[in-house]
Amino acid sequence: MTESPAVSAAPSTASKQSKWVVSIVVAACVCSILAVTFTWVRNQVLDTNKYVATVAPLAQNKAVQSAITDAVTARLVAATNPKKVIGDALPPKAAPLAGPLSEAITGFVHNQIAKLLSTKQFASLWKIISRNSHEQMVAALTGKRTVLNQLAAKGEIKLDLKPIIGPAGVFLKNAGFKVEQPAQSPTLVVFDLSSLQSAQSGIKALKGLTLIFLILAPLLFALAILLSKVRRRTVITVGLSLAGSMVLVGLLLSLGEWFYLDGLPANVPQDAAQAFFDTIVRYFARGLRIIAVIGLLVAFSAWWSGNGKAAFADLKGDGLLAVSRVAIVGIGASLLLVVSHPTPLTFLLIIVATAALTWLAGVLARRSAA
């Protein structure tokens, strides 16, 4: 007896529809990743007010204060040149004392600058410094030729610490020591010009693309659910896929931090650079965690409304296995979400351990059933 064409065509149609649903979910996850990433980049790269608010806590960061103290001290000491001043004032027999006395003065200046940077006044100065440097970067990225020409001569964009020089001179004068005003203000390099020029074309399209991806992501997730024949299972898949996408971005962010720190010049303080990176991306990382939690809650709610209640009501056999796997995945996801500074190795260990425990739960369930 031959199978009817209508009957044989049904599984093929269902299979094609299932593939379409999977493809749409994957596309929605890609759009979600791009929407979250582009939104953060737009807020930090093009919005000076948001950038200044984001980096404001760095004014109280000890590593950043130390790096700025070193830069300001070096510039003030170079301008004053205490070793030469002391050497000229001392008699020839006492000339060897110029070096130790100069070092003592350098230490004194360093300590006084450190005290200044621990005051509330520095918080206001830091906002000025951050705003000036960011406005310079935005001007370059948005294509203002005059700014680009100025930067081309320097070859890099720097954090100009000039606003600190005046207050530092007053602070030192009040402490009993007068310094010369340097001809050039102290700076800290934050970007090189080549990276900005390559990013300039992408920045122009950023605003429009961000809005497009923000609209596309939820629409594609909704479309996948509407097209699915097993909608509850698709909702679970959507929730887990969304959470997994955010975990993937978190892993890439962790790798990005590692490459960023590894590629810094030897004279850049690692602790200050890490504090800067962590502060800049903290809202991004927080957003990833919130979206991941939403995805997990959506998946759990869909599972609970289907087989979840029955599994908890009958904690044996398949029900116990289902609850155990949900608990293992939940614990693994929670660990990924609560770790403050996850490294790529941390991500890998948690994911591998979660997968291994989920597999082990299935093995133990089959053995107990046998």
In contact, 242 and 29? CB cutoff 8 Å: yes
Domain termination residue (choose one: 143, 178, 196):
196
The reply to whether 344 and 256 lie within a common domain is: yes
Say yes or no: 68 and 152 in one domain.
Answer: yes
Q: Is residue 248 part of a domain?
A: yes
User: Is residue 222 in some structural domain?
Assistant: no
pLDDT at 343: 65
Residue 313's contacts (CB-CB under 8 Å, 6 or more residues apart) are: 319
Using the predicted structure, report yes or no on whether residue 363 has a pLDDT greater than 80: no
Task: Give the closest residue to 72 by CA, choosing from 136, 32, 122.
Answer: 122
Which of 196, 222, 253 is where one domain is finished? Answer: 196
Half-sphere CA count of 332, side-chain side, radius 13 A: 22
Q: In whole angstroms, how far apart are CA 258 and each of 251, 288, 342? A: 11, 19, 11
Distance CA 253, CA 206 (A): 19
275 in a domain, yes or no? yes
Q: How confident is the model at residue 152 (pLDDT cuts 50, 70, 90)?
A: very low
In a domain, 32, yes or no: no
pLDDT band of 102, cuts 50, 70, 90: confident
Residue 256 has pLDDT above 60, yes or no: yes
84 plus 144 within the same structural domain: yes
Q: Helix H segments across the chain?
A: 5-45, 48-55, 62-80, 82-89, 98-117, 120-141, 145-154, 162-174, 193-227, 231-262, 270-280, 282-303, 309-313, 318-338, 344-369
Which amino acid is it at 281?
A: V
pTM of the predicted model as reported, rounded to 2 decimal places: 0.74
Does residue 207 lie within any of the structural domains? no
* Mean of the per-residue pLDDT values of the chain: 78
Are 54 and 192 in a shared domain? yes
d(CA 212, CA 203): 15
- On the question of pLDDT at 299 being above 70, the answer is yes
Pair (190, 269) in one structural domain: no
Considering the domain architecture, whether residues 189 and 55 belong to the same structural domain is answered as yes
Strongest mean pLDDT among 30-39, 94-103, 315-324: 30-39
> pLDDT tens-digit profile of 281-294?
888 988 888 898 88
pLDDT in tens, 319-328: 556 667 667 7
DSSP 8-state assignment for residue 57: G
**CA distance readout (Å), 184 to 68, 153, 165, 336, 356:** 15, 16, 10, 46, 59
Mark which of 174, 196, 218 sits at the end of a domain.
196
**Sign of the torsion angle spanned by Cα atoms 202, 205, 206, 210:** negative
Assess if residue 25 is contained within a domain: no
User: Do 53 and 192 reside in the same domain of the chain?
Assistant: yes
Same domain, 171 and 235: no
Least-confidence region, from 12-16, 330-334, 348-352 = 12-16
Indicate the number of domains in the chain: 2
- From the list 102, 44, 116, 106, the residue with the least C-alpha distance to 76 is 106
Claim to verify: residue 171 and residue 247 sit in the same structural domain: no
Q: Is residue 355 part of a domain?
A: yes
Residues 281, 155 within the same domain:
no
Assess whether 244 and 353 both reside in one domain.
yes
pLDDT of amino acid 341: 62
pLDDT higher than 60, residue 170: yes
In a domain, 221, yes or no: no
Domain limits for position 264 = 230-369
Residues 355 and 239 both lie in one domain = yes
8 A C-beta contact, residue 231 and residue 225: yes
Q: Which CA distances in Å does 272 have to 23, 57, 68, 92?
A: 43, 13, 9, 43
